[in-house]
């Protein structure tokens, strides 16, 4: 995907995700990186919010998906967030990276997906 894009970096969310029951017992901090390609380029937005993708609403959508239920895999959570964003917003596509801070000898573990509409 190419063209105008909206970027959201290091959005902190909380979700119950992990293989063990102990890991899923409490929400844990995750970080999200999003690249959103709006259906229409920036030049036709006329400086009006309704002509673009409201990133505050995007934030609420991914937080609601994350809080919805426990999951074993962050891959599953990433897929569900991508599906919700493509359903609710006028996007040509998106790239989503979801980071989890569980390995003591690494900054993070992450999954990255790219989805066209």
* Averaged pLDDT for residues 63-80: 96
Q: Considering only CA atoms, which of 91, 83, 79 is closest in space to residue 37?
A: 91
Q: pLDDT value at position 2? A: 80
* Averaged pLDDT for residues 20-41: 93
User: Given the structure tokens 């969310």, which residue do they identify?
Assistant: 13
Q: pLDDT value at position 81? A: 98
Three-state SS at 70: coil
pLDDT at 117 over 90: no
Domain 6-116 carries which CATH code? Answer: 3.30.1130.10
* Averaged pLDDT for residues 83-101: 97
Q: Which residue has the higher pLDDT, 23 or 96?
A: 96
pLDDT at 116 over 90: yes
Q: Considering only CA atoms, which of 18, 21, 35 is closest in space to residue 101?
A: 18
Domain ranges of the chain: 6-116
What one-character DSSP code corresponds to residue 17? B
């Amino acid at each position: 995907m190419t063209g105008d894009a909206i970027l959201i970096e290091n959005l902190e969310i909380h979700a119950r995700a992990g293989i063990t029951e102990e890991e899923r017992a409490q929400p844990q901090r995750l970080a999200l990186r999003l690249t959103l390609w709006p259906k229409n380029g920036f030049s036709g937005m006329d400086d009006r919010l309704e002509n673009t993708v409201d990133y505050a609403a995007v934030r609420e959508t991914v937080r609601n998906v994350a809080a919805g239920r426990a999951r074993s895999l962050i891959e599953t959570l990433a897929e569900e967030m991508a599906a919700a964003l493509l359903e609710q917003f006028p996007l040509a596509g998106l790239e989503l990276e979801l980071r989890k801070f569980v390995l003591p000898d690494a900054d993070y573990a992450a999954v990255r997906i790219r989805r066209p509409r």
